[in-house]
Amino acid sequence: MPSKKQARADLDSPWKEALDLFLGPFLSLFYPIIHAEIDWERGYEILDKELQRISHDARVGRRLADKLFKVWLRDGQEAWLLIHIEVQGRKEPGFAERMFIYSYRIYDRYRKPVVSLAVLCDEDPDWRPDRFGYERWGSSHDFRFLMVKLIDLRSDEAALESNRNVFAPIVLAQLKASETRGTPEERRRWKVRLVKGLYDRGLTAEKVRQLFRLIDWMMELPKDQELEFR
Spatial separation of the C-alpha atoms in residues 162 and 171, rounded to whole Å: 12
Asked if residue 147 has pLDDT above 60, the reply is: yes
CA-closest candidate to residue 73, choices 34, 103, 118: 34
pLDDT given for residue 10 in this prediction: 52
The residue ranking higher by pLDDT, 198 or 58, is 198
pLDDT given for residue 13 in this prediction: 82
pLDDT digits (tens, 9 = 90+) for 155-199: 989 999 999 999 999 999 999 999 998 898 999 999 999 999 999
Q: How confident is the model at residue 7 (pLDDT cuts 50, 70, 90)?
A: very low
Domain ranges of the chain: 4-229
Q: How confident is the model at residue 230 (pLDDT cuts 50, 70, 90)?
A: low
Mean pLDDT across 53-76: 77
pLDDT given for residue 56 in this prediction: 67
pLDDT given for residue 54 in this prediction: 85
Three-state secondary structure of 10-69:
HHHHHHHHHHHHCHHHHHHHHCHHHHHHECHHHCCEECHHHHHCCCCCCCCCCCCEEEEE
Asked if residue 22 has pLDDT above 90, the reply is: yes
Asked if residue 227 has pLDDT above 90, the reply is: no
Q: How confident is the model at residue 8 (pLDDT cuts 50, 70, 90)?
A: very low
Asked if residue 3 has pLDDT above 80, the reply is: no
φ and ψ of 14, to 5 deg: -65, -35
Q: What is the pTM of this model?
A: 0.88
Asked if residue 12 has pLDDT above 80, the reply is: no
Spatial separation of the C-alpha atoms in residues 78 and 207, rounded to whole Å: 28
Spatial separation of the C-alpha atoms in residues 210 and 158, rounded to whole Å: 23
pLDDT digits (tens, 9 = 90+) for 92-143: 888 999 899 999 999 999 999 899 999 999 889 999 999 999 999 999 999 9
